[in-house]
Structure formats: structure tokens, C-alpha cells
Amino acid sequence: MFKKLAIFFLFISFASIADDGSRLWLKYDLLKDPKQREAYINLTKFVALNYNSPIATNAANELKIGFEGLLGKKIPVVQNWTGKTGGIILEVNTTGISVQHLVDDGFAIQQQKGNIFITAKTPSGVLYGAFELLRYIQTAKDLNKISVVSNPKVKIRMLNHWDNANGTVERGYAGSSMWKWTELPFRIDPRYIQYARANASIGINAASINNVNASSRFLTAEYLEKIKAVADILRPYGIRVFISVNFRSPRTLGGLKTSDPLDAEVRKWWNDKTKEIHEYIPDFGGFLVKANSEGEPGPQDYGRTHADGANMLAEAMRPYSGIVIWRAFVYNADPKGDRFKEAYEQFKPLDGTFDPKVIVQVKNGPIDFMPREPFHPMFGAFPKTTLGMEFQITQEYLGQSTHLTYLAPMFKECLDTDTYAKGKGSTVAKVIDGSLDSHQNSLMAGVANTGSDINWTGHPFNQANWYAFGRLAWNHTLSSEEIASEWIVMTLTKNSVSQEKIKNIMLKSLPVYISYTYPLGTAHMMGEGHHYGPEPWLAKSGRPDWTSVYYHRADSIGLGFDRTGKVSNALSLYHPEVQKLWGNADQCPLDYLLWFHHVAWDKKLSTGRTLWNELCVRYYGGVEEVKKLQTVWESMKTEIDDETFENVKGRLKIQEKEALWWRDACILYFINYARMPIPSPLAAPTRSLDEVKKLVEIYHLR
Ligand code: GCW
């Protein structure tokens, strides 16, 4: 009996220490320092709710759970504030001085007469304010003089799930889909609520729940009932549901002969379907559409334009508050063309013809979520169209679930770049937050990295990318450092020395990853189909612009894609000031060099090395850096929860092995073109190109 009890207690104590990552950054573990707890307890004696709504109630409950966990003390939630002091008052107030600087989702947190007021114009604002207050405590900030006014820079802050009806996730690296379509609407997985809380805590207010390579099935009554169940869970957390739609649905579902957007019956079908959706989901967010892209159907199948297609759906949405999000990710398979230019060229004539309800969603770069891309040339060039941003949080080309890559610096690099559209300071961020061209609506979407894995994202550090995306969608002026610091202290450790070390790892991680995969502005050299690992020799695929040779253009002279006037002239799509920055190979920043120039192997770069030597230094250096990251991680063994520590440790080992794989593949392949030696003291790879090629073949075995 005693033995059994002892095992039981051992289990309990383990359970309370081991961290499976499922709580994400919302841990609310007891603050260790009693003095610090005391200080907070004096200010959090009760939570008073001056407003009655499911969202505001969730705000109060979240504070209650958070305070009880962090401070170890029960906190009453009362309906109406009686004038007592020492508590948190939540109020929704549409007029008055306290909300005059707020937009709809914004909030103010102020200390007043012995209480802390969280005030907003909408219940969602109160919820975001509650999470901000909790973040203050989680990150051990002083509440005594708290004074915050916070407004989201972007209106629609959205996750795009590429989840399929069969439970798989396109480009998902964290298990299967978190949406249990076979169980819905009867069983509600409790994780939906955790998902909603996590999103609300970082200001995300929209989610498209299915893959943009969309099945019409999501528009059937059977599925609408399932989606309704999800929407009902997400709504009290301020999240609106969107559906990705298949443009051919009027034919596949409606039995019509066409899906031509100018056909009266087709338009009626969409109007009726939209009405039906609203019967299930009255606050339906709207449609997300991938059309005439990678084989998906679209208006061009009927000789119509993207605007014809988008505007037809906008008309169907006219009676409702939702919108239409139309993706600009389109390209043709012209071997002589340049994929870089295609979206711009197809959409440019349509600027000014989209319905105001339409947002055109543009990927951050012109190709496809490469680890480093120049900003998409559409940003700054479409003043009459509301352009939304599409980032990829899931790491299709960024180490998927095994490489540690913190993406905030990549998001920031794009957002902070100047398009010069209206003179200096016309950053991409200003295009997408609507301020540059005075657009009413604004959107930042991130392709989600969530799945059924217990810790949601596979690699524990991938959680930070979900977190960073949300924080930047709310406020793109936050720095990558600030966001990393918040996340680390809430998620990994309270030890300040370790916090600094981890922050360094995170901030180094993207440049390190880029140096052993895509240095100097190379792109798109990954394994065919699965997009994992290197395959720079890939010369044949379903389409020329799915190969690697299309992008790197290695030959006996040099490396890189000439996008100056001499060849593709894609540079001309940018403002002349941007062309000046990137157009001259001698001055182009090295990070972008091979995106725009075909550079001779023996050309001396600004580093004093030839292109070939610089390439070698970066590939080799990247591998060495991964080893260093491992040593730093190892030094924190006692400071990090065991389970997380071992999890990351194992993945870093894989990362080292695969960094070497990338290095050897690219060096051994390019050396045949460069025909120059690997500069000393770097040692030649110990395997042959054929051996490395075999590693890729294994991935294609059936
Ligand atoms: O990045 C590519 C992916 C596809 C994806 C497509 C897109 C959903 O490889 O899997 O399809 O982009 O963004 O539409």
C-alpha cells in the first residue's frame, strides 16, 4: 500500500513538473517570489464585470484562472462593481474620455483610485486587455503605474489553416488536423477552447478553417453544421470563422453546367449558398479563395478575370458584414518567363476594379515563402486595391518541425522594407495596415502551424512563431527581441541568464538556417514535392518553375537569376528607389544578391572573397553555428523543464545532421560549375555528390 502511494505521489509530482507544451505561453504557474505575489495580490482582490456578454465573461474568467495560478489565491468575479477598491474592473464603454483614442478591438488599462480599469469599446477589446494584464504579471512587470492604450494596427488578424476534410494538413508538421471533422458537431474537443484562448491572447480574431486547395465538401449542409459548432466555440473569444471555397462548387455541389462568375444561375447559387451559411453562422467572416493557381479552378477557366470572380462573391456577401479574401498566389508554367513577375502582371490591370468588400491576399515575397525573399512587388503598386499580407507560420521551407527557426525577424524584414510608393517611409507595413492608401479594411494572415501534436506545433520553438505572428499582426512596430523575450519568460524559463541565452539562440536562428540552406539570395532548391532537404540538381518536374535549376541558374560562369533589364527585368516592377538599392550587383546587399543578379564565381564581393569562397564560408559557417547553438542549449539543462529540454536537444541534433546534408549537397553540386577548390581551412565533404543524392532518393521511395 505504502509503495503504491509513493508511486502515486511520485507520479503527481512528476505531472506537475513535466511540461508537455500543451499550455503554450498561457502557463499561469505560481510566481516563485512571495513578495512579488503579494504586490500583485493587493491589486487583484476581485474582478468586476460591468458588462454582460460571453466575450467579456471569458475575459473575467481568464483573469480568474490566471490570477489563481500565478498568485495562488482565489479571486471572486462579481457582476457589478460596487465601488470597492483593490480589484480589476472590466468595462465596455462606447463613448467617454477613456475610449476616445480606441478603435474597435483596442483597449486601455489604467490605474484609477485604487483599481485597475480595463476599458474598451467592444467586449473583444476587454478580452485583449485582460490578456495584456496577465502578460504584465507573467512577465513580472510593475502594475502600480500601469497605463496602456493599445490599438491593433490591422483589423483582420487571421490564421489560415490548410487542413483537409480527411484529417491531413497540407504542409502541416505537427500531427494531423486539430479539427475532428468526423466527430463534429457532436463531440467538441476541449482543445478548440484552448486554441481559441491562445489566439485571443495574441489578438488573433479570424480563422479560415480549411485548406485553400479547397474541397467543395465544406459547403455542404453536413459540413456547415460542423463548422457552425466550431464557430460557436470560437465566437466567445472574438474569433470569426472563414471558409476556403472551391470555385467550381456551383458545378460539383449545385449540379450547374458552369461556374462562370458572370452566369446568372451561378451568381444565384452563390447568393443562396451565402445565405444558407449565415443561417448556421450569422457572423460568418467570409470566403478565402485560391483560384487559377496550381491547378485550382477559377474565373479564368471561363475567360473571366480574378476581379470578376472576387466581385461575384462580394455581391453574395453584400447583405452581410463579412468579406472576400482573394489570393494573389498565381503563376503560369512559362519556362521563358519569370514566376517572380506573374502575380503582379496578372493583377496589375485589375487595380481599382475590385469590390470594396474584397481584400487581395499577397504572400510576403513573389515566389513562395522562401526563407528570405525580397518583398512582393505588388506591395506599394496597387493603391486602389486593399492588399492583405500572407505569411507562412508553418515552416514548409524553414526546417518544418526539426530546425529551430524563429520567424519574427523574417516577418519584420518584409514589413519594415520601404516600397517608396509615396516617398521615403512607405513601408510594406503601411501598405497592409491600410494607412498608406487610406483603405478601410486591413488584413494580416498567417498559414497556421497548429496540429494534433500535444504541444500544438511539433518543435517547441515553433510555438514562438505562432505567438510572434499574432503579436505582429496586432502591432507591427514591436521588435523581434521584445516578442522573443515575452514568449521565453512565459513559456520556457524565469531564469534571466537563460532568458538571454535563449533569446540569442532565437535571434540567430534564421540567419543560421539561411546560411546553410539559401545563402546570398539563393532560393527554391529544396526536395521535390515534400520540400524537405536539399535538391539543387532538380531539373525536371511537373512544371519548369517547380525545379531548382530554374531558380539558381548555375552555369560555368556563375550563379543567380538575372532579374535586371538584361534578362527578366522583374526589378522594373519595383519603385526606382528600390531598383537603385538592388539593381547594381556591386551595391546590392549580399542577402539579396542572387535574387537579382547572375554573379561570376570568381567575382570579388564586398566581403573581399569571391562568390564561390563566400558561398563556401556561409554553408560551412552555418553548420558550425548549429553546433554552437547546441552547446548553448546544453548549458541550460537545469533551467529548462526536462521534457522540453530533451525535446529541443534531440531536434537540434537532427538539425545539425541536416545542416550538413544541405551544405554537402549544395557545395558538391555547385563545385562542378564553379570548378574552384573549397577554400582552406575548410575541409572537403567526406561523401560524394552521388552519395548525397541517394539521401534524397530515399524520400521518394514508395
Ligand atoms: O507553398 C505552396 C505549397 C502548396 C500550397 C501553395 C499555396 C496550399 O507548396 O502546398 O498549397 O503554396 O500557397 O497555395
315 is catalytic: no
646 is catalytic: no
Distance of alpha carbon 597 from alpha carbon 583, whole angstroms: 8
Cell of 125: 477589446
- List b or e across 291-327, with b for residues whose CB sees 16 or more CB atoms inside 10 angstroms: bbbeebbbbbbbebbbbbbbbbbbbbbeebebbbbbb
The predicted pLDDT at position 4 comes to: 54
User: Which residues fall within 8 angstroms of residue 628, CB to CB, at 6 or more apart?
Assistant: none
Q: Is the pLDDT of residue 306 over 90?
A: yes
The predicted pLDDT at position 617 comes to: 98
Instruction: From 364, 396, 397, 524, give the residue whose CB has the most ligand 1 atoms within 8 Å, as the site to mutate.
Output: 396
Instruction: From 329, 342, 543, give the residue whose CB has the most ligand 1 atoms within 8 Å, as the site to mutate.
Output: 329
The predicted pLDDT at position 13 comes to: 42
How much is the average pLDDT of 59-63? 98
At residue 95 the predicted structure's pLDDT band, cuts being 50, 70 and 90, is confident
Q: Which of 265, 294, 416, 634 is catalytic?
A: 294
Q: Which of 368, 390, 535, 562 is catalytic?
A: 368
Bridge partners of residue 389, in order along the sequence:
362, 444
At residue 97 the predicted structure's pLDDT band, cuts being 50, 70 and 90, is confident
Which protein residue has the closest C-alpha to ligand 1 atom 13?
A: 329
Dihedral, CA of residue 148, residue 238, residue 310 and residue 172, to nearest 10? 100
Distance of alpha carbon 170 from alpha carbon 394, whole angstroms: 10
Q: pLDDT per residue over 400-438, tens digit each?
A: 999 999 999 999 999 999 999 999 999 999 999 999 999
447 CA: nearest ligand 1 atom: 13
Could you tell me the CA-to-CA distances from 239 to 1, 202, 507 in Å, in that order? Answer: 50, 12, 30
Bridge partners of residue 387, in order along the sequence:
360
How much is the average pLDDT of 77-101? 90
The continuous run of DSSP H or E covering 89 comes out as: strand 88-92
Q: Is the pLDDT of residue 76 over 80?
A: yes
What share of the chain in percent tops pLDDT 90? Answer: 92
Which protein residue has the closest C-alpha to ligand 1 atom 2?
A: 368
397 CA: nearest ligand 1 atom: 1
For CA atoms 254, 255, 260, 263, the dihedral sign is: negative
Fold classification of 156-478 (topology level): TIM Barrel (3.20.20)
Q: Is the pLDDT of residue 468 over 70?
A: yes
Distance of alpha carbon 612 from alpha carbon 556, whole angstroms: 12
What distance in angstroms lies between residue 552's CA and the mean position of ligand 1's atoms?
20
Q: Does domain 514-561+598-701 bear CATH number 3.90.1330.10? A: yes
296 CA: nearest ligand 1 atom: 14
171 CA: nearest ligand 1 atom: 10
User: Which residues fall within 8 angstroms of residue 183, CB to CB, at 6 or more apart?
Assistant: 189
Q: pLDDT per residue over 100-112, tens digit each?
A: 999 999 999 999 9
Q: Is the pLDDT of residue 8 over 70?
A: no
Which protein residue has the closest C-alpha to ligand 1 atom 12?
A: 368
Contact of 525 with 666, CB cutoff 8 Å? yes
Q: pLDDT per residue over 622-644, tens digit each?
A: 999 999 999 999 999 999 999 99
Question: SS3 letters for 151-201?
Answer: CCCCCEEEEECCECCCCCECCCCCCCCCCCCCCCCCCCCCHHHHHHHHHHH
The predicted pLDDT at position 3 comes to: 53
What distance in angstroms lies between residue 171's CA and the mean position of ligand 1's atoms?
8
What distance in angstroms lies between residue 394's CA and the mean position of ligand 1's atoms?
11
Instruction: From 368, 397, 531, give the residue whose CB has the most ligand 1 atoms within 8 Å, as the site to mutate.
Output: 368
Give burial (CB, 10 Å; 0-12/13-18/19+) of 682.
middle
What distance in angstroms lies between residue 515's CA and the mean position of ligand 1's atoms?
24
Q: pLDDT per residue over 320-375, tens digit each?
A: 999 999 999 999 867 788 999 999 999 999 999 999 999 999 999 999 999 999 99
Dihedral, CA of residue 374, residue 376, residue 381 and residue 386, to nearest 10? -140
Pocket (CB within 6 angstroms of ligand 1): 162, 170-171, 212-213, 290, 293-294, 329, 368-369, 396
The whole-chain average pLDDT of the chain stands at 95
Instruction: From 245, 294, 325, give the residue whose CB has the most ligand 1 atoms within 8 Å, as the site to mutate.
Output: 294
What distance in angstroms lies between residue 406's CA and the mean position of ligand 1's atoms?
21
What distance in angstroms lies between residue 337's CA and the mean position of ligand 1's atoms?
20
The predicted pLDDT at position 98 comes to: 80
One-letter amino acid for residue 85 of the chain: T
Closest listed residue to residue 697, CA positions, set 670, 671, 665: 665
- Residue 533 DSSP code: S
Q: Which of 163, 390, 396, 535 is catalytic?
A: 396
What distance in angstroms lies between residue 689's CA and the mean position of ligand 1's atoms?
29
The predicted pLDDT at position 11 comes to: 43
The predicted pLDDT at position 10 comes to: 45
Domain range summary for the chain, segments of one domain joined by +: 31-150, 156-478, 514-561+598-701
The predicted pLDDT at position 9 comes to: 46
641 is catalytic: no
Q: Is the pLDDT of residue 15 over 60?
A: no
Q: pLDDT per residue over 510-532, tens digit each?
A: 999 999 999 999 999 999 999 99
213 CA: nearest ligand 1 atom: 8
What distance in angstroms lies between residue 485's CA and the mean position of ligand 1's atoms?
31
What distance in angstroms lies between residue 315's CA and the mean position of ligand 1's atoms?
27
531 CA: nearest ligand 1 atom: 9
What is the phi-psi region of residue 294: left when phi exceeds 0, alpha when psi lies from -120 to 50, beta otherwise?
A: left
Fold classification of 31-150 (topology level): Chitobiase; domain 2 (3.30.379)
Q: Is the pLDDT of residue 307 over 60?
A: yes
